[in-house]
Amino acid sequence: MRIQEATDTARPDAQSTQHHLDRERLALAHLIQVRCIAQKLSSRLPASIELNDLVGAGVLGLLDAIDKFDPSRAVKFKTYAEVRVRGAILDSLRKLDWCPRSLRRKSKKLERARDELEQRLGRSPAEHEICERMNIPLEELHELAAQICTFTVVSLGSPAELGNGRQDGTRPADIPEAAERGPFWLCHTSEIRDRVDAAIAKLPRRERLVVLLYYFEEMSMEELGRVLGVSRGAVSFIHSKAIGRLRIKLNELTT
């Protein structure tokens, strides 16, 4: 009887040890995936953001994915882990609040200038009109737009996860705190998704093209510049205008 009790007592420890070994093996097998995701995000961030910090946050997201993954769902672990890892990295960046206050002020100033001109002109203002309103050269406007673009990517997350479901099987319900990951994560119903799709469709042609190619096709600013035949700074400015319009529409959906 004592032998049986000892065996029963030891069994949970053995199971726990095996669980930790399996967890460790699964984590090691997906470390390359974590680094790839971190490097992809790092390429769009300022040089002051250390890649190793992003990888560290991603590893925590991977471990969280391992603990919370439900094999009974029709979702591949690699797909589930990718979303958790990317979300963990973006969350870590938001918590840093590394957007300079000076950039926030300039961003608000740009938005005010653009809104005022749009109301007065009855159309979207041209670059030179915004430059005149803000009393800055075109090069400075392009540089400001590029900086704003960098921080917008982090604040929005990726609209590649738009919709009621993805082709790979993941759904917002599979990822906790989905609504906290930016406006695009709010598209968890067909009604909202359709309204956002409609908002994107109503963007001016070049702005719509930039949004679709930059987020959905994941083209870089340089690649977009070659497609549109303009500079990287000009692409950033177009992107900034498009995101400004979409933010207004998305905010209307949540109020």
| pTM, full prediction | 0.46
Instruction: Tell me the percentage of the chain whose pLDDT exceeds 70.
Output: 64
DSSP output for the chain: -HHHHHHHHHHHHHHHHHHHHHHHHHHHHTHHHHHHHHHHHHTTS-TTS-HHHHHHHHHHHHHHHHHH--TTSS--HHHHHHHHHHHHHHHHHHHHT-S-HHHHHHHHHHHHHHHHHHHHHSSPPPHHHHHHHHT--HHHHHHHHHHHHHHHHHHH--GGG-SS--TTS--GGGSTTGGGG-GGGG--SHHHHHHHHHHHHTS-HHHHHHHIIIIIS---HHHHHHHHTS-HHHHHHHHHHHHHHHHHHHHHHT-
User: What is the domain partition of the chain in residue ranges?
Assistant: 1-98, 100-255
CATH number for 100-255: choose from 1.10.443.10, 1.10.10.10, 3.30.590.20, 3.30.1300.10: 1.10.10.10
Q: For 159-190, what is each residue's pLDDT tens digit?
A: 433 333 333 333 333 333 333 334 443 344 44
CATH architecture designation of domain 1-98:
Orthogonal Bundle (1.10)
